[in-house]
Amino acid sequence: MTTSAAYSPVSCPALFLTAPASNQGKTTITAALARYFTNQGKVVRVFKTGPDYLDPQILAQASKQPVEQLDIWMAGEDYCQDKLYQAAQDADLILVEGAMGMFDGDPSSADLAARFGIPMAIVMDVKGMAQTAAALATGLANFREDVTVSGLIANRCGSERHAELIRDALPESLPLLATLKRDEGITLPERHLGLVQANEVKDELEVRFEAAVEWLKETKDKGLLSLPDAVPFYPVESSVINVEEKATASLLKGKTIAIAQDAAFSFIYDANIKALTKMGAKVVFFSPLKDTVLPFADALWLPGGYPELHAKALSDNLPMREAIQAFYQTGKAILAECGGMLYSLGDLTDLNDACYPMLGILEGQGTMRGKRGCQGMQTVVIPQGEIRGHAHHRSRSANTPEPVGHGRRQRHPAPGEAIYQQKGLTASYLHLFFPSNLEATAKLFLGKNNSSLDGNVTHLSSSK
């Protein structure tokens, strides 16, 4: 982190939406606020804390602006600082949606809010409690001195009397910003790994966003319906950004990277696309579901998504399977993340226990596991370098080759996800955040250090 008094800040109204736990309604309320102020002609920039693909899709549609991740561990303080500063130059309002509970994780949502001086609003599902909601909110607000809490948003509030009990129990320093009635028509649709992808229910979401705007307007407590106080956002010292940009600007110059993107593969950070293009790459997209030929490319990226929901269609698209198999045989670079790795295996068994042949460029089988799964922040340790990312999956793989190593967990000494490299293929359950190490990312897509691993696997330490 670098801040200097010589660099003038840009001030912008900002609010950080947090909660005591998951499933309190943060995404619904953040989306409602984004659309409310967007409808007023304001430019609203929304950020999501931590690794997440589905919430940003929802929030981008609600705000009609791109949504990126802010995570101190995954991206670094300078990266987060720069993103907020850049957004503040154009936005009328910055909203940040937290992850899990307010103090969960290391770093937590509270850590991020405290670092950049963004006031927090506590979203709480108050169904089944009244004064206790005030007690919990007061405890959260006073848990740390470096965190500013602007008030409580009482979600799923049953009646005005219910709201009055909460309002009267709150201290003057912690106002009730909004009392939002129970309305299942506002709740965002979900599936086994979280929210349904926005492009699958785009029209339905539009109806829900506009209904959510009216939902916000109905509250007797109007604290959310005016812009919050402005927060000064400081630029990162130019030397930090310039040195990195100059060092990486041409690493992928002249290279074309083809990215799988459709209903089966959509877990793609906007920040990753920007990272590739900033390094000089040309990015093209293709659909393993619908296309029968690959676009010309020097490297492929098979990101995560929901291949298990489209396993039959992926399997039936034999021309595409053969095209990717042929590409693999050339030794050119392929990055397969989570769902992309499942697609790379010999076969995949879906949630209905139906088994379908997949690419077969990585030995093994994938099987869905229903509700049990793995998640967490990890660092990919490979010959190209270390790249930070995360795991979140409800499947398992079996009969795979020996990994070249394992992810290094953020806080736990146990080995993380297995990482495989052969020919030009790098495959793992881990989703990578490219800006965490641009040079290593470039080497990955250039195929550097991979060819020596084919048939001569080198084991890497997972506890380095």
305 and 338, same domain (yes or no): yes
Instruction: Give me the pLDDT at residue 54, please.
Output: 82
Last residue of a domain, one of 199, 233, 267: 233
338 catalytic, yes or no?
yes
169 and 267, same domain (yes or no): no
Question: Is there a domain that residue 2 lies in?
Answer: no
Question: Is there a domain that residue 411 lies in?
Answer: yes
Rounded to the nearest angstrom, the gap between the alpha carbon of residue 334 and the centroid of all alpha carbons in its chain is: 22
Instruction: Give me the pLDDT at residue 3, please.
Output: 45
| 3-class DSSP state of 309 | helix
227 and 252, same domain (yes or no): no
Q: Please give the Cα distance from 179 to 363 (Å, whole number).
A: 54
Last residue of a domain, one of 233, 261, 281: 233
312 and 390, same domain (yes or no): yes
CA within 13 Å, CB half, 151: 18
Q: Please give the Cα distance from 315 to 346 (Å, whole number).
A: 11
Looking at 40-151, list the stretches that DSSP marks H as alpha helix, in order from N- to C-terminal side.
54-63, 72-75, 77-90, 109-116, 131-141
224 and 254, same domain (yes or no): no
The CATH number of the domain holding residue 400 is 3.40.50.880
Kindly name the residue from 80, 157, 338, 374 that is annotated as catalytic. Answer: 338
Question: Is there a domain that residue 458 lies in?
Answer: no
Contacts of 116 (CB under 8 A, 6+ apart): 80, 81, 84, 231, 233
Per-residue pLDDT band for 196 (boundaries 50, 70, 90) equals low
Rounded to the nearest angstrom, the gap between the alpha carbon of residue 428 and the centroid of all alpha carbons in its chain is: 17
In the predicted structure, residue 305 carries a pLDDT above the cut 60: yes
The domain tally of the chain equals 2
257 and 211, same domain (yes or no): no
pTM summary value: 0.86
Instruction: Give me the pLDDT at residue 255, please.
Output: 97
Give the percent of the chain with pLDDT over 90: 71
226 and 344, same domain (yes or no): no
194 and 289, same domain (yes or no): no
Domain that holds residue 227: 10-233
Last residue of a domain, one of 175, 204, 233: 233
Task: Answer positive or negative: Cα dihedral of 337, 343, 346, 352.
Answer: positive
Give the Å distances, CA to CA, from 451 to 20, 24, 380, 395: 48, 48, 18, 29
Q: Please give the Cα distance from 273 to 290 (Å, whole number).
A: 22
Q: Tens of pLDDT along 309-354?
A: 999 999 999 999 999 999 999 999 999 999 999 999 999 999 889 9
Q: Please give the Cα distance from 124 to 116 (Å, whole number).
A: 23
The one-letter amino acid code at 286 reads F
Q: Tens of pLDDT along 394-430?
A: 778 888 999 998 888 877 777 888 999 999 999 999 9
Q: Are 416 and 376 in contact (CB under 8 A)?
A: yes
